Structure 1
Amino acid sequence: MNSFEIGGQPVGLGEPAFVIAEAGSNHNGDLDTAKELIDVAAEAGADAVKFQTFRAEDLYVEESGEVEYLDDDRSIYDIIESMEMPYEWIPELHDYCLDREIQFMSTPFDERSAEELAEYVPAWKVASYTSSHTPFLRHLAGTDKPIIMSTGAHEIDEVFESVSALREAGVEDLVLLQCVAAYPTPLSEINVRVVETLQEEFGVLSGLSDHTFDPVTAPSAAVALGASIVEKHFTLDKSMEGPDHEFALEPDELDRMVSAIRDTEAALGTGEKRVLEVEQELHDKARRAIHATEEIATGDKFTPSNVDVLRPGDRKPGLQPKFYDEVIGRVAATNIQSGSGIHWKDVSDHES
């Protein structure tokens, strides 16, 4: 699993998850709204804000009918055409992202859009429905950029075909995202464990493109399972007109998502088991040790009635509990006060 950089930011196992705030087409054709979306993503602490760049004529056949889930009387072709982002926005949005210190990304859905974006994006995001378009994958591979590919609505054998095409075209820096192509996705269907499956089956970095309503559960679970990238749609207001607003996160929810991801990473830690600094006081005061429960004179025998395994509190702890059976039955080599820890120097006939 290659670690690599997106716009100078490390992406890989052991690195913070790269969070993509998916603005998509939620700009509703208004440049100021697009910039406001960038502001929201930057303020939430996302690493990148991503739009979508396409042309309806390069995406759908004419007279393509309607899509039931959109609840829109227009044809899917007309809906997509109304969502197009003007190419002339690209350099302006890129520069605005630079000013806001967040990376600009946009998903191309066709070669023409990819050519318009190539100068301005640090990596390619391949949408689920494009992931089996191998001629287009080879086109993107020729630009020598990292590729992040969603896998929604595809069987694993189809993902193998797409990954093989990218590898044969020379792509080394690749991340596969678990994605369910349902808008919204029921939480019971998001199947976050596929994040692990993608790593194991393909030997690549993996992540999650999430369309559930919940801002925290699936992203946090994905990070806990090793996701290197998390992507989620957001909007300024769910009540805005357009197909992608209703299931997207509002600004406060995007804040919660990013915070939850960072909290999850903090909670996961390094995996190294050791006594931490925050544990040190209770390590010293609450771990049980061997102590005298009454005064013991030199020559007295240690017995269960005058020795016990207790917490020392502010007293100096005695021997570890594992030595209790070795102490019992021996005799004291020194006078020991009640409550004092018992050490090897206090035990006769012991070589240490």
Structure 2
Amino acid sequence: MRLTEIFSSKSACTRSAGIQRPYIIAEAGVNHEGSMDIARRLVDEACAGGAHAIKFQTYKAATLASKDSPAYWDTTKEPTKSQFELFTRHDKFWKGEFEALKKHCDSAGIEFMSTPFDVESARFLNDMMDVYKISSSDITNKPFIEFMCGFGKPIILSTGAAHLHEIAEAVEWIEAKGNPLALLHCVLNYPTDDVNAALGMIPALRQHFPQHVIGYSDHTLPRDMKVLEVATLLGARILEKHFTHDKTLPGNDHYHAMDKDDLAHFNASLDRILPMVGPFTISALESEAPARRNARRSLVAARPIAAGAVITRDDLTWKRPAHGVSPREIDAVLGKRARADIAEDTVLQWSHLE
């Protein structure tokens, strides 16, 4: 599945389709720690776990954050107190490295993505990606949003820490440019407690923006991946979650990321869950045919009925199986005459009546 296919199909789950399998983005971010070997490993392991895409982040600390930029993450897990200091440690990959990673992704069979955080990176990433991702942190950054819309490609916008009016405003900017759009519910806590995942915002976004694709960018601890399962059942068509090759590594995004085993577990769970849901239609299942025939009831003679007698209500009861005239037809049966003698406890057939 290619990400552009999500935009060409209906944005929400349809009644006939039911819950659709989500497009999964493994958010490697800068968990490569500046090593191309680790970056390639992340690509390979995301592919092995069943991700459709792997996404990195492209930035320079000097254009992303001022030197007076306090942390907004859990500093017991990532003790760095300054955004500028943290980003300086992880901003070594640039155009050449991402071109090499794009080639590796193509060889591995996984879609390459990277979130640009400045104009220069947005420009050179254009040749490598079919879809642009805009971070929650830029949801109010009108000039940057409009700049990325200028490439004419679909946009994925995360909505972390945003009020509805801020999301609606950003949507208006993008719609004015004509770009296909996906909105990802997101909570900007690193990590996000499960009780703060606020997954109800997924159907709320679907209600407010039915014309666009809706998804979820997750920052909860992976644990058993239940948060992503629930997000899928609530209609998220795109799932994004931080990804690492080693969850025990200190700092950065490793501590709240999934690994290839978590991802494989989630995909295996979807294999079991999605058939349980089935299409959003109502009809008896083929597997229920024996029950329809044997657990439902037929009209039955409550007492002997003589040939020629007019059938009355007292002549009838209803019992299993449903091999004869259905009780729904009782009004059509009453007043008819018996064609021949009908013994007590006979399952009534239309051939018994004239």
Q: TM-score range by the shorter chain?
A: 0.7 to 0.9
Instruction: State the AA in 1 paired with 2:194.
Output: L
Q: CA deviation at 1:304?
A: 7.9
In the alignment, structure 1 residue 53 sits paired with structure 2 residue 52: no
State the distance in 2 between where 1:234 and 1:334 align: 77
Determine the structure 1 residue equivalent to 2:100. Answer: 92
* Residues 36, 339 of structure 1: alpha-carbon distance in 2 compared, 3 angstrom cutoff: farther
Instruction: State the AA in 2 paired with 1:116.
Output: F
* Residues 342, 43 of structure 1: alpha-carbon distance in 2 compared, 3 angstrom cutoff: farther
In the alignment, structure 1 residue 218 sits paired with structure 2 residue 227: yes
Count of matched residue positions in the alignment of Structure 1 and Structure 2: 341
Moved more, 53-62 or 223-232: 223-232
Q: CA deviation at 1:163?
A: 1.4
Determine the structure 2 residue equivalent to 1:131. Answer: 139
State the distance in 1 between where 2:80 and 2:27 align: 26
Counterpart mapping for 1:60-71 below 5 A: 60-67=65-72, 69-71=74-76
State the distance in 1 between where 2:194 and 2:182 align: 23
Structure 2 stretches lacking a partner, 5+ long: 14-19
In the alignment, structure 1 residue 145 sits paired with structure 2 residue 153: yes
Moved more, 301-310 or 76-85: 301-310
In the alignment, structure 1 residue 175 sits paired with structure 2 residue 182: yes
Check whether the contact 1:238–1:246 (CA below 8 A) recurs between aligned residues: yes
Determine the structure 1 residue equivalent to 2:348. Answer: 342
State the distance in 2 between where 1:177 and 1:337 align: 68
Determine the structure 1 residue equivalent to 2:238. Answer: 229
Moved more, 335-344 or 278-287: 335-344
Instruction: State the AA in 2 paired with 1:30.
Output: S
TM-score computed with the length of structure 2 as normaliser: 0.85
Q: CA deviation at 1:111?
A: 1.2
State the distance in 2 between where 1:272 and 1:118 align: 41
Instruction: State the AA in 1 paired with 2:51.
Output: A
Determine the structure 2 residue equivalent to 1:29. Answer: 34
State the distance in 2 between where 1:36 and 1:296 align: 82
State the distance in 1 between where 2:346 and 2:39 align: 70
State the Cα deviation string for residues 189-233 of structure 1 (Å, max 9, x = none).
Answer: 221121222233233221111112255333233332322211112
Q: CA deviation at 1:85?
A: 5.3
Check whether the contact 2:2–2:52 (CA below 8 A) recurs between aligned residues: no
Check whether the contact 2:213–2:237 (CA below 8 A) recurs between aligned residues: yes
State the distance in 2 between where 1:98 and 1:339 align: 72
Q: CA deviation at 1:291?
A: 3.6
Check whether the contact 1:23–1:51 (CA below 8 A) recurs between aligned residues: yes
1:309 to 302, 305, 318: 318
State the distance in 1 between where 2:100 and 2:296 align: 61
In the alignment, structure 1 residue 156 sits paired with structure 2 residue 153: no
* Residues 8, 168 of structure 1: alpha-carbon distance in 2 compared, 3 angstrom cutoff: closer
- SS of the equivalent of 1:77 reads helix
Check whether the contact 1:46–1:102 (CA below 8 A) recurs between aligned residues: yes
In the alignment, structure 1 residue 276 sits paired with structure 2 residue 285: yes
Structure 1 stretches lacking a partner, 5+ long: none
State the distance in 1 between where 2:342 and 2:104 align: 74
Q: CA deviation at 1:100?
A: 2.4
Moved more, 59-68 or 269-278: 59-68
* Residues 329, 174 of structure 1: alpha-carbon distance in 2 compared, 3 angstrom cutoff: same
Using CA pairs below 8 Å that are at least 6 residues apart, which structure has the higher relative contact order?
A: 2
State the Cα deviation string for residues 169-189 of structure 1 (Å, max 9, x = none).
Answer: 332x00111111011112222
In the alignment, structure 1 residue 238 sits paired with structure 2 residue 235: no
Moved more, 5-14 or 17-26: 5-14
* Residues 291, 235 of structure 1: alpha-carbon distance in 2 compared, 3 angstrom cutoff: farther
State the distance in 2 between where 1:40 and 1:288 align: 57
Instruction: State the AA in 2 paired with 1:123.
Output: V
* Residues 104, 5 of structure 1: alpha-carbon distance in 2 compared, 3 angstrom cutoff: closer
Q: CA deviation at 1:280?
A: 2.2
Moved more, 278-287 or 120-129: 278-287
Determine the structure 1 residue equivalent to 2:16. Answer: none
Moved more, 265-274 or 236-245: 265-274
In the alignment, structure 1 residue 191 sits paired with structure 2 residue 188: no
Determine the structure 1 residue equivalent to 2:212. Answer: 204
Q: Calculate percent identity across the aligned residue pairs.
A: 32
State the Cα deviation string for residues 30-69 of structure 1 (Å, max 9, x = none).
Answer: 2222222222222222221111111111101124345562
Moved more, 115-124 or 252-261: 252-261
In the alignment, structure 1 residue 118 sits paired with structure 2 residue 126: yes
* Residues 292, 30 of structure 1: alpha-carbon distance in 2 compared, 3 angstrom cutoff: farther
* Residues 22, 291 of structure 1: alpha-carbon distance in 2 compared, 3 angstrom cutoff: farther
Instruction: State the AA in 2 paired with 1:195.
Output: I
